[in-house]
Amino acid sequence: MGFDDEVTTGLFRPTEDHEAIREAVRELCDDKVAPLAAEVDERAEFGWASYEALRAGEFHAPHVPEAYGGVGADALAVAIVIEEVARACASTSLVPAVNKLGSLPWVLAGSDELKQRYLPRLARGEAMVSYCLSESEAGSDAASMRTRAVRDGDGWVLDGAKRWISNAGVSELYTVFAVTDPAAPRGKGISAFVVEKSDPGVSFGAPERKLGIKGSPTCEVYLDHVRVPADRMIGEEGGGFALAMRTLDHTRVTIAAQAVGIAQGALDATLAYVAERQQFGRAVADFQGVQFMLADMGMKIEAARQLTYAAAGRSERDDPDLTWFGASAKCFASDVAMQVTTDAVQLFGGYGYTRDYPVERMMRDAKITQIYEGTNQVQRVVMARQLLRR
């Protein structure tokens, strides 16, 4: 688990090209996304204007390979994009994050025909994609899912309900995991399919009333006798659960990046505030107790960022220790985001508790990074198992 190879390959330390991407995304987000963040949160509606800004800059799905009309950004570049968007608006950062989550199974295991059919639509921004794994009784225990897919002639018929689906309703495409062989050993009888929003029998529940990331709708996805052709199966029959877990190994890096971005946005806002706010005849930033808090915030963010970038390098190469690095980066960065945003609210004092300033929104947004794509308790289970296997 050493880092030497990361430094020499440039995948641990960003290259000049990576930094150029960061500068471009930051400029776009400062101009087009950040000014809308409070309104997106207040209205609890998908931020279409922010989406169009990302689409115009080709930052809505930067992971799509060039062969399918995408920009072909590597895993570190994608992490930087998500980090910078989250610095401005956590809800909007779920556009590139969820697009990668939903479509990575296609990239990893989809047929050439399936990739040619759907990835160009994603690259052009004509469609977004969501990832449908969780159910009301199958969250951390995803292998207990009840959604069924039954063979019917030359296709499959899907019935069930998926819950906690990010960007449900606004996405046109859905990667759905369903049980195709109930008699198979645990986790072995699950397969993955592409479902289209327009397929008869697809419907959505009301958006969840959430604490944070309100500009990214989270809904149930209902599948009522939804028939899909056989060529929409992703990978091999019965390989869906392994594919879902492999996908999460990669995409936990994106949640770590989102957490780093939220924390950085909170620190940036706090630094500006404490430098201007006067108490006892001096700037709040002049007090040593405040400086200690700022130092801890910056230190933790940078540690989380470096761990996230190290994990991104593993993701790009699909290294055997990716499971460890993906889980640890997601767990550590999200805990840091919660700590940093909470301290940011504290340093703003009473103002931090109001919607007049962005840090209360950032604190609410940070919380979900400790929960989705595997709770941090689950991440620790994953890490412990990896350590014990060594």
Which pLDDT value is given to residue 12?
A: 62
DSSP assignment string, 294-320: HHHHHHHHHHHHHHHHHHHHHHHHT-T
Strand partners, 193: 176, 233
Q: How far apart are CA 287 and CA 294, in angstroms?
A: 11
Which pLDDT value is given to residue 7?
A: 40
pLDDT above 90: percentage of residues in the chain: 96
**Average pLDDT of span 247-261:** 98
Q: Is the pLDDT of residue 345 over 50?
A: yes
Question: 347 with 341: CB under 8 angstroms?
Answer: no
Q: How far apart are CA 233 and CA 181, in angstroms?
A: 14
Model pLDDT for residues 309-332, shown as the tens digit of each residue: 999 999 999 999 999 999 999 999
Which pLDDT value is given to residue 5?
A: 43
Q: How far apart are CA 169 and CA 217, in angstroms?
A: 8
Question: 248 with 324: CB under 8 angstroms?
Answer: no
Residue 260 amino acid letter: V
Which pLDDT value is given to residue 96?
A: 98
DSSP assignment string, 200-236: TTEEE-PPP--SS-TTS-EEEEEEEEEEEEGGGEESS
DSSP state of 135: B
DSSP state of 199: S
Burial readout 67-90 (b: 16 or more C-beta within 10 A, e: otherwise) = ebebbebbbbbbbbbbbbbbbbbb
Model pLDDT for residues 128-186, shown as the tens digit of each residue: 999 999 999 998 999 999 999 999 999 999 999 999 999 999 999 999 999 999 999 99
Question: 42 with 96: CB under 8 angstroms?
Answer: no
**Average pLDDT of span 230-250:** 98
Pairing between β-strand 233-234 and β-strand 190-196 as defined by DSSP bridges: antiparallel
Which pLDDT value is given to residue 3?
A: 39
List of domains in the chain? 4-124 (1.10.540.10), 129-238 (2.40.110.10), 241-389 (1.20.140.10)
Per the residue annotation, which of 83, 84, 316, 373 is the catalytic one? Answer: 373
Q: Locate 241 and state its tokens.
A: 């659960």
**Average pLDDT of span 49-66:** 98
SS (H, E, C) 39-54: HHHHHCCCCHHHHHHH
Q: Is the pLDDT of residue 6 over 60?
A: no
Work out the mean pLDDT of the chain and round it to a whole number: 96
Q: Locate 43 and state its tokens.
A: 């209205």
Respond yes or no: is residue 302 known to be catalytic: no
Q: How far apart are CA 261 and CA 82, in angstroms?
A: 7
Model pLDDT for residues 356-372, shown as the tens digit of each residue: 999 999 999 999 999 99
Strand partners, 129: 173
